[in-house]
Copies of this chain bind each other. A is one copy, B any other.
Amino acid sequence: MHELRKDPLLGRWVAVMSDSKSPGEYSFPSGNSEETSCVLCPGREKETPLEIASIRDGSRWLTRVIPNFKPVLHVEGDLGRKGVGMYDKMNSVGANEIIVDSPEHTKEPEDMGAEQVRRILRTYRERVADLEKDQRLRYILIFKNSGKGAGAMFSHPHSEIMATPIIPKLIKEELDGAKQYYAYKERCIFCDIMREESRVGERVISETRDFFAFSPFAPKFPFECWILPKKHACAFQDIEEGGIEDLSGMLLTVLQKMRKVLGDSPYNYFVHTAPNRIPRRNHWHTLGDDFHWHIEIMPRLHLTSGFEWGSDFYVLTTSPEDAANYLREA
């Protein structure tokens, strides 16, 4: 029989089908595009908004950060919080940047090798460190859309950053869930999840010195994978060079495994780190102890329907245990 499972962090229930679909049974829009060059390619730098940062080898850039062509959030201006009748609004202050992951148009991170993934991670860290200085910004979300079916605007490999003057709802829920768990148990829920997954083993995908990758017990999407630092840490941006080295190997491994199992299916990933401007520890707040940064990777193998949008309840057509098994063996 199918079963229902509860996500221990958010309290969200999902249904896990007893007869798991194999990877070949999914049909998804290919992530590949016909294009072989675009405005994000080397040589067309003058057609993009002004470069914010880059990692270079001499005059040649290896990763490059630019503002979004049509940014949702703008760096200028004050917050302008105000009420309108019974509602609340504010100015769209923040940052919306594109990180060009590589000079090569047709190579995703999983094709690039660990050295390029390290550069991407260093670029992430540098941008977060820079943006978190802005007192108006409350949260910095790093995410990646790979393939049209995952909402990618460009076929050139890229990541994005959205720095918002509010804490987005999902982040707030994760923080609240982790805080509640900590208040009751005096332990980090993410550390407990890793211990449990390590003990059980059936949802483990890969392990390195510093990182742990697994299929969550009750995820939103089939073949979803989370990567956590083994040592408790609330903020991605505090990662050191050795951690980046280890994480680049882990991210590469997981993305390559996904490619082997799921072909060039569209996917998203995002980094969930601690918000800005919240003291990490004081007499009433324990953010440094209760939140644990992590990366969530979501293959986009099917379209969502009115059921998911109307309930925030998800159906897993492949069980997390079977998904982990396919990925572990790949």
Where the two chains meet, the residues of A that have a C-beta atom closer than 8 Å to any C-beta of B are 1-6, 8, 10-13, 15, 17, 72-74, 77, 85-92, 141, 143-145, 148-152, 160, 162, 164-166, 168-173, 192-193, 196, 199-200, 217-218, 220, 268-270, 272, 296, 298, 302-313, 315
Contact A311/B171 with A72-B2, A143-B306 known, Cβ cut-off 8 Å:
yes
Candidates B3, B89, B296, B310; contact of A310 at CB < 8 Å: B296
Cβ of A172: which chain B residues have Cβ within 8 Å of it? 11
Closest B residue by C-beta to A200: B85
Closest B residue by C-beta to A296: B310
Contact assessment for A305 and B151 in the assembled complex, using a CB-CB cutoff below 8 Å = yes
- Closest 5 A-B residue pairs measured CB to CB? A151-B305, A268-B306, A270-B310, A168-B311, A143-B306
Contact assessment for B89 and A162 in the assembled complex, using a CB-CB cutoff below 8 Å = no
Instruction: Give Cα A89–Cα B218 distance, bound, in whole angstroms.
Output: 10
Instruction: Give Cα A162–Cα B309 distance, bound, in whole angstroms.
Output: 13
Number of copies: 2
Cβ of A169: which chain B residues have Cβ within 8 Å of it? 10-13, 311-313
Cβ of A298: which chain B residues have Cβ within 8 Å of it? 306, 309
Instruction: Give Cα A115–Cα B226 distance, bound, in whole angstroms.
Output: 50
Chain B nearest CB from A193 CB (Å) reads 7
Instruction: Give Cα A165–Cα B196 distance, bound, in whole angstroms.
Output: 26
17 pairs across A/B with beta carbons < 8 Å? A1-B74, A1-B91, A2-B91, A3-B91, A4-B91, A4-B164, A143-B306, A143-B307, A150-B305, A160-B306, A164-B313, A168-B311, A168-B313, A170-B310, A170-B312, A268-B306, A298-B306
Contact assessment for A162 and B311 in the assembled complex, using a CB-CB cutoff below 8 Å = yes
Instruction: Give Cα A232–Cα B316 distance, bound, in whole angstroms.
Output: 37
Contact assessment for B303 and A151 in the assembled complex, using a CB-CB cutoff below 8 Å = yes
Candidates B89, B151, B171, B306; contact of A304 at CB < 8 Å: B151
Instruction: Give Cα A69–Cα B164 distance, bound, in whole angstroms.
Output: 44
